[in-house]
Structure 1
């Protein structure tokens, strides 16, 4: 395979080994080991010094994109646009030095926005392979050691998938022998592929449902327009990534499609249940679903909100999903949500801005909201919430049901003029912040400050 030269400018500002005192391991896929944005890490800083934690190293010229890195077995993996190509890359975890880069194909010509920053998929590492989804719908399996592409499928050409307005940004789920992806086509909303060969195992159709258009939405010639912007033909796919759950002795995949939050039987792809209420009319559903204590939850912005359904057997081998509550106080746009001690944390607000909100997860009751914690993306590690705001500021927050408590904040250096959409990542005592072609690695282990 011909690979482009890996031209990265990397600056190793410090060369400590990974802190032995910061346990918790790797971050091998989107939202961490369990796809719940929570890390098992311990031994991390509980308070940041003024100006933030110590910068260990930084890498520049990665190429455009919002792909947060996956970390496994001493390597970082991510995606970018470089020139006219869409690439998957690997870096050394210790210092950010380049290891390999492999092209998936031509950079996808995004319709909206016009700036074509680059892919948003976080690779999924599984054994000696990794799996990615390109912006135009290429699903590929690569060898982790050297980036050789072992197989690839096209969600548009082979499954009739419709590319969403902001392109495909899903991170594939690998579960058992299956790779789960969301083409969004009329005959294949969701698909399961064999992880070794890429062959189709099953497909699922999520039917269209009657739903009124949102404020400013127009339908014209099979295309959608939103306040004058052409959103293109409707897709059954959105921008969320699926999770796997076990319920009533059955494995399910939960995905927030362009149409609804759905549960799909892992064995045969049968649609078990659907919940339409959290899906907005524009089909801009971005956040990963949550499943906690028998409740499945999803939320979106654009004047919509979030709702929870309780799953129960229907007595005929199926599953019922009964709404427990719906709240406009959790209009989560793209930053994701966390459940900690039965409290739901997430940004409430859309393109016009927003702020952190905290709800009682079992009831949906609003506990607090605070504009001092701006809209952004979240993760949880060692008793602290990490908030990476859309403007670039990074906050360390103590989970609390009564009020916002912060334990440090800093402004990310070398900010681009793009929204900071890449989610933060914590692995092996380090915090990773990506801003398009820039990747910053901070040492957040307690040992870093002698703590």
Structure 2
């Protein structure tokens, strides 16, 4: 009997570990960009890690990946329509696709930009024109809402790009506008539960996060002129901190040790805000990290990312001090982390460089170039999809191409 109990306990632990390796949301479970995976290659062979498969069936767009139950979900555009797509993680075979809405076009490459969100065997996906859908894992539509016609939002210049937050049976999204910047929808029905009636800033491009601060949950979102904390119970504003955003505000906020870190490009910079008892105080504000949209990661007490004009940078989280920077080795791009390694992706040439996550400096451990690359990208477009590390695999995208690499040690 004892051995049987141990067997089932082991199975439960194994099941939990396997589930924890999924990538259910933008920047992972906690939206930090940090993968908890271990036993990955610490150094790559000269030609880079082994490519397991690639597909050219993802359509146009910059949408990222979410992964669960051996399925990879993303968005892509075909014939002026945006689609939610499902692929096999193991083979790259397309399993199904479902229309979201009309394609939003712009001068920097058309196609959707958000990542789907997964939870309770459902997928939530937002199109560029504000069409939000909820579907099951087989691709069957459960409900849909328009952030514009149903919720009174206004499409921002480059379209809606946020990856909606799924938390406590609610879908948290940012329609923007006079009815309230943020909205909470019932995850099962799409019914509106609350709006931030006292906070009506327009939507930008960042994605909200859920934090536990002083024992209480709150949602944090960054828009053009404000960083804001919201009550999950009713949408009331708990605190607000001004931000001098310009043109576009994109990177996702980071929370640690009672503080929120934010960054924006277009010459703006970064700042660290201590929330306290919902009475925020700036710890620092500087231009060390001017992150456009490639993301910033916190590993230990240090931040890593690409800063416009500075290059790839390591910044002290607590003081804001620049620890090191590297301009020549790799151009501007996006970043991911797993197993003490940073995966740095150049947006212009598709070069992927593996470096040690260390405040001691840029220490490369291998590199390769994404192949094949698209011929369909708008001349102004770049490789903007963030790398994702899940279940010993590295997933990359250049428009219609999705590529999967084996990075297990």
Q: Does 1:66 align with 2:29?
A: no
Q: Would you say the 8 A contact 1:205–1:271 is kept in 2?
A: no
* Mapping 1:262-301, distance limit 5 Å: 262-277=228-243, 279-282=244-247, 284-301=248-265
Residue 323 of structure 1: aligned partner: 282
The within-5 A match list for 1:348-367 is: 348-349=307-308, 355-367=311-323
| Contact 2:57–2:94, Cα closer than 8 Å, also in 1 | no
The one of 165, 170, 187 equivalent to 1:173 is 165
- Give distance in 2, aligned partners of 1:424 and 1:434: 8
Matches within 5 A, 1:38-437: 38-108=34-104, 110=105, 112-113=106-107, 115-116=109-110, 118-144=111-137, 146-205=138-197, 207=199, 236-277=202-243, 279-282=244-247, 284-313=248-277, 319-349=278-308, 355-371=311-327, 372-391=329-348, 392-416=350-374, 417=377, 418-437=381-400
- TM-superposed CA distance for 1:402, in Å, is 2.3
**Cα distance change on mapping 1:257 and 1:427 into 2, 3 Å:** same
Q: CA deviation at 1:50?
A: 1.0
Shift of the alpha carbon at 1:344? 0.8
1:23 to partner: Cα distance: 10
* CA-CA distance at 1:354 after TM superposition: 5.7
CA distance in 2, matches of 1:173, 1:406: 34
Number of residue pairs aligned between Structure 1 and Structure 2: 386
8 Å Cα contact 2:297-2:304 kept in structure 1: yes
Distance in 1 of aligned mates of 2:395 and 2:313: 24
Shift of 1:442: 0.4
* Counterpart Cα distance in 2 of 1:64 and 1:206: 37
Alpha-carbon offset, residue 309 of structure 1: 0.6
Q: Residue 308 of structure 1 contacts residue 326 of structure 1 at CA under 8 Å; is this kept in 2?
A: yes
Q: Compute the TM-score of the two structures, normalised by the length of structure 1.
A: 0.83
Indicate the RMSD between aligned Cα atoms, in angstroms: 1.7
Which portions of structure 1, spanning 4 or more consecutive aligned residues, are displaced by more than 3 angstroms?
Answer: 21-24, 205-208
SS in 2 for 1:374: coil
In 2, Cα distance between the equivalents of 1:49 and 1:186?
54
Residues 253, 263 of structure 1: 8 Å contact kept: yes
* Alignment partners' CA distance in 2, 1:179 and 1:152: 12
Query: Do 2:269 and 2:291's aligned partners in 1 also have CA atoms closer than 8 Å?
Result: yes
1:41–1:429 contact (8 Å) kept in structure 2 = yes
Q: Deviations over 1:305-345 (max 9, x none)?
A: 000110111xxxxx111000011010010011011110011
Question: Aligned equivalents of 2:74 and 2:310: distance in 1?
Answer: 28
CA contact (8 A) 2:154 2:175 kept: yes
Contact 1:250 1:265 in 2 (8 A): no
**CA deviation digits over 1:39-92, x for unaligned, max 9?**
111111000111211000000132101111111011011101111221101111
SS at match of 1:78: strand
Pairwise CA distance, 1:115:
4.2
Instruction: Determine if contact 2:63/2:75 at 8 Å carries over to the other structure.
Output: yes
Compute the displacement of 1:207 (Å): 4.8
Partner of residue 224, structure 1: none
1 CA distance for matches of 2:237 and 2:142?
30
